Amino acid sequence: MPDLDELRRIIGEGLASVGWPEPAWYETTPEDPGEGQARQAVEDGAEMVFACGGDGTVMAVVTALAGSDVTMAVLPAGTGNLLAANLGLGTDPATGVQVAIEGGRKRIDVGVVDGKCFVVMAGMGFDAQMLEKTSDEAKKRIGWLAYIGGGLKALRERPVQTRIVLDGGKVMPRRPRSVIVGNVGRLQGGVTLLTEADPADGKLDVAILSPNNLGHWMSLAWGVIRRRESVPLMETYTAERIEIHSRSAQPRQLDGDLIEPGRHLKISIKPRALLLSVPRPASDPDLAYDVSTAAEAAEDIREAARE
């Protein structure tokens, strides 16, 4: 990822190349990772907001823009960006700028937890434990591979008695290792967990993972990697409202960003609430697009920024 000055040049040159005005800059803070800045940008008349950062920044900007007609464009940075991974953007900001200029626009659903929005996945249990046990230093050094170490540490945790309710229906008692609620299906590293997830269908996909030992985990992982229709020890559902109630407080995450641990996770959906900049063609429901054309055009932006 380039430094701030280079990033400003890349974005400025890219926008100027098609006659767009010089962008206004709103810097995030530890206290506000992007929601307040995005709201201010909208008040100042912005038609597009670039979310430049990791998962926490993107989630904050989504929370501010959901329900509006302002487009969000993603410029991945930080130690992880699940939405960028599902867009196929990689970590190149020049390509992200080119996608914003030439790409399509797609309205996608947004999940909501306690007023915070997410666009990729929310979870309670093993997935959040893995994040909790992965060091920031390791993520900076080796990227998403650091989560493997965190996952191995999280394997020592025990499942907790849990009640799951979908769309106000019957209580589903389980002892899962993790309950994951996805808007799209792709995880870090290119693995697709939820093969049927569609971010614009007005539904969220729910995966209940219930392995009890290492052999179970291996069987489940192999089924996910093979993209089998039926994965051992994983139940899948779709719903608009999801309630997860655990006997004891559990780690929780939204879009790969940890939130406060809790005994409950209540999730609802805002259908087609976010206008998102995506690579063309904007027809693949899992948002994993080919961005080769944008990447080639982005080289011109990088050259201009270096001059």
pLDDT of 297 strictly over 70: no
For 207, how many CA atoms within 13 A lie in the half-sphere containing its CB? 30
**Pairwise CA distance, residues 288 & 40, whole Å:** 31
In one-letter notation, the amino acid at residue 140 is K
Give tens-digit pLDDT for 82-95: 787 777 766 778 88
CATH number of 4-110+271-306: 3.40.50.10330
- Give every CB contact of residue 107 below 8 A, 6+ residues apart in sequence: 200, 272, 273, 274, 275, 276
Where does the pLDDT of residue 139 fall: very low under 50, low under 70, confident under 90, or very high at 90 and above? Answer: confident
- The domain at 116-270 falls in which architecture? Sandwich (2.60)
pTM value is: 0.84
Mean pLDDT of the chain: 85
Percent of the chain predicted with pLDDT > 70: 86
pLDDT (tens digit per residue) in 141-183: 877 677 778 888 888 888 899 999 999 999 999 999 999 999 9
The predicted model gives 16-24 an average pLDDT of: 91
- Residues 221-274 have pLDDT tens digits of 888 887 766 788 999 999 999 999 999 999 999 998 899 999 999 999 999 999
What is d(CA 5, CA 114) in angstroms, rounded to the nearest whole number? 36
List the chain domain ranges.
4-110+271-306, 116-270
CA separation for the pair 16, 14 (Å, rounded) = 6
Res 154: pLDDT: 85
Q: Which two tokens stand for residue 37?
A: 């800045």
At 291 the pLDDT is 45
